[in-house]
Amino acid sequence: MKPAPFQYVVPESLEEVMDILGQHGAEAKVLAGGQSLMPLLNMRLARPAVLVDINRLPGLDQIAVEDTAVEIPCLVRQRAAERSPIVAEELPLLREALRHVAHPQIRNRGTICGSIAHADPAAELALVLVALEGEVVAVGRGGERRIPANAFFRGIFTTALEADEVIRSVRIPRRRFSGQAFREFSPRAGDFALVAVAVALDVDPQGRVQTARVAVAAGSDVPARLTEVEARLQGAQAGAEAVKAAAAQAREAVQAGSDAHASEAYRRHLTEVLTEEALLAAMATTGGNVA
Site for another protein in 6-35 (CB under 8 A): 6-10, 31, 34-35
| Dist. CA 81–CA 87, nearest whole Å | 6
16-44 in b/e form (b: 16+ CB < 10 A) is ebbebbbebeeebbbbbbbbbbeebbeee
- Identify which of residues 1 and 260 has a Cβ nearer to another protein in the complex: 1
Q: Cα separations (Å) of 175 from 128, 135, 230, 238?
A: 13, 14, 17, 20
Question: How many residues make contact with another protein (CB under 8 A)?
Answer: 33
**Phi, psi angle pair for 31, to nearest 5°:** -110, 115
Would you list the DSSP string of 74-123? TT-BHHHHHH-HHHHHH-HHHHHHHTTSS-HHHHTT-BHHHHHHHT-TT-
Q: In whole angstroms, how close is the CB of 165 to another protein at the nearest point?
A: 21
Q: In whole angstroms, how close is the CB of 20 to another protein at the nearest point?
A: 10
Task: Return the residue of 22, 27, 46, 55 that touches another protein, per CB under 8 A.
Answer: 55
String marking each residue 171-190 x if it binds another protein according to CB under 8 A: -----------------xxx
- Identify which of residues 40 and 160 has a Cβ nearer to another protein in the complex: 40
β 143-148/153-155 pair status: unpaired
- Identify which of residues 83 and 176 has a Cβ nearer to another protein in the complex: 83
The residues, any chain, with a CB within 8 Å of residue 67's CB and separated by 6 or more, are: 174
- Identify which of residues 2 and 85 has a Cβ nearer to another protein in the complex: 2
Task: Return the residue of 104, 148, 155, 287 that touches another protein, per CB under 8 A.
Answer: 104
57-67 in b/e form (b: 16+ CB < 10 A) is beebeebeeee
| Dist. CA 135–CA 150, nearest whole Å | 9
Q: In whole angstroms, how close is the CB of 137 to another protein at the nearest point?
A: 25
Cross-strand partners of 211:
202
**Cβ(36)–Cβ(118) under 8 Å?**
yes
- Identify which of residues 38 and 160 has a Cβ nearer to another protein in the complex: 38
Q: In whole angstroms, how close is the CB of 175 to another protein at the nearest point?
A: 29
- Identify which of residues 39 and 173 has a Cβ nearer to another protein in the complex: 39
Task: Return the residue of 23, 25, 43, 231 that touches another protein, per CB under 8 A.
Answer: 43
In 119-207, alpha helices (H): 124-131, 149-152
Residue 156, interface with another protein (CB under 8 A)?
Answer: no
Task: Return the residue of 53, 120, 162, 221 that touches another protein, per CB under 8 A.
Answer: 53
Task: Return the residue of 23, 25, 26, 103 that touches another protein, per CB under 8 A.
Answer: 103
String marking each residue 65-84 x if it binds another protein according to CB under 8 A: --------------x-----
The residues, any chain, with a CB within 8 Å of residue 235's CB and separated by 6 or more, are: 208, 209
3-state secondary structure of 286: coil
Residue 154, interface with another protein (CB under 8 A)?
Answer: no
Tell me 291's DSSP state.
Answer: -
Residue 39, interface with another protein (CB under 8 A)?
Answer: yes
- List interacting residues with another protein (CB under 8 A): 1-10, 31, 34-35, 38-39, 41-43, 51, 53, 55, 79, 99, 102-106, 108-109, 188-190
